[in-house]
Amino acid sequence: MSSSPASAILADLDTAKKAFENNEAGAREALIERSRALVAALEVPSEYIQRTFWAEPAQSAIIRMAVDVKLFQHLKDADDAGLGASALSTKTGVDVVLLQRLTRHLVAMHLLKYHNDAFHATPLSNGLAEEKYQHSLSFCYNAARPSFNGFPDFFKRAEYKSPTIGGTDGPFQDAHNTQLAFFEWLVATPPHLQHFDSFMSAYRAGKPNWYDPGFYPVAERMIAGFDGSVSDVLLVDVGGGRGHDVAAFAGQYSSHPGKVILQDRKPVIAAVVAGRQKLPFDAQAHDFFTPQPVQAARAYSLHSVLHDWGDEDGVRILENLAPALKREYSRVLLNEIVVSEEKPTLAATSMDMMMLAHFAVRERTEAEWRAMLAKAGLKVVNIYTYPGVAESLIEAELA
């Protein structure tokens, strides 16, 4: 077997190592990606099959069991002393022989450590002990994983055709034997909605936001050139949920000119304003399938909105927004994944698989984004990226 692919990857790893030591943006993610590439270059098929179909599925199942018995919390509480097999068995209620076999596999997978006759936590397992990640593990295993397990049979029966966009006949419905759409099913089957909310809150944890320094140049592209005589609104967060993005934006740019507005459906906005004495933004009920009521704002942001919809609905959303834009002034900011065709990232393709399994829609390539925007009378001005971040910031304006 030729050593040249591995040698090239090792050289890349050395470069990424130096960047990591210099605390360069994206260096940690580059090390992870190159490490995965090195494993792929070195593994023989038998090792690949064992890892992919034995070791990793078993790890997922054990981790899901660990949620129920609070394994990671017990090891975190034990701190440096760790816990011996008998003590950990007592705390978790898992038979000691079974416990040893399960946790031994987590040691082999580098999630836990074992020394001085005791099992010990790692920084990763301590992170997974947090409630939002415990909920995320439950959601991913109980709600999402069955959809992927059912891919082969589902697509064989479907003659390898994509499921109906916006329909309720996809892999998710097949796996859970339901005719409900994904979000309707979450609501109907507690505690899945709570676990999904935690998953979404954890999904981008630790990653820069689109308005952070080095990502999208807010000062140059939004604040500079703001004209209060055109409109008193700087930013409208369209479909912004409970306002996490817009609140952080308003806090980071506390001296910004103009208003900042959060828009979402009536029930969501009602929940946002309930019991709150003061918000750092205005809140407005709006359905983005209807005409945009705020005219000539400097910018309209849509964070991971359009990836939930097929092209026809995406064009409808943009067409309802476009008439509100002032030519050569207003900007549309789409914080979305742009899938690279030549060098797709794991973060982008795994999210694309999530969308295929649960919503029958897709993450888009740059060409697909440009085509959809053009159908709505818009053009791409620039696409901004940040090292190690899955989503890009697509800046568009009237064509």
**Distance of alpha carbon 236 from alpha carbon 283, whole angstroms:** 10
3-state secondary structure of 263: strand
Can you list the positions of beta strands (E) in the chain? 113-115, 118-120, 233-238, 259-264, 282-285, 299-303, 331-339, 364-365, 378-384, 391-398
**Distance of alpha carbon 329 from alpha carbon 327, whole angstroms:** 5
- Distances from the Cα of 9 to the Cα of 40, 108, 143, angstroms: 11, 24, 36
Q: Write out the two tokens for 379.
A: 């053009």
Q: DSSP letter string over 335-396?
A: EEEEE-SSS--HHHHHHHHHHHHHTS---EEHHHHHHHHHHTTEEEEEEE--TT-SEEEEEE
- Distances from the Cα of 286 to the Cα of 126, 176, 293, angstroms: 41, 32, 8
134 within 8 A of 65, measured Cβ to Cβ: no
Q: Which residues form the catalytic set?
A: 307
- Distances from the Cα of 139 to the Cα of 7, 52, 83, 154, 282, angstroms: 39, 21, 28, 21, 33
Kindly give, in sequence order, each residue whose CB lies less than 8 Å from that of residue 14, ignoring residues fewer than 6 positions away: none
**Distance of alpha carbon 375 from alpha carbon 396, whole angstroms:** 13
Q: Which residues of 116-136 are buried (b: 16+ CB within 10 A; e: fewer)?
A: eebbbbbeebebbbbebbbbb
223 within 8 A of 234, measured Cβ to Cβ: yes
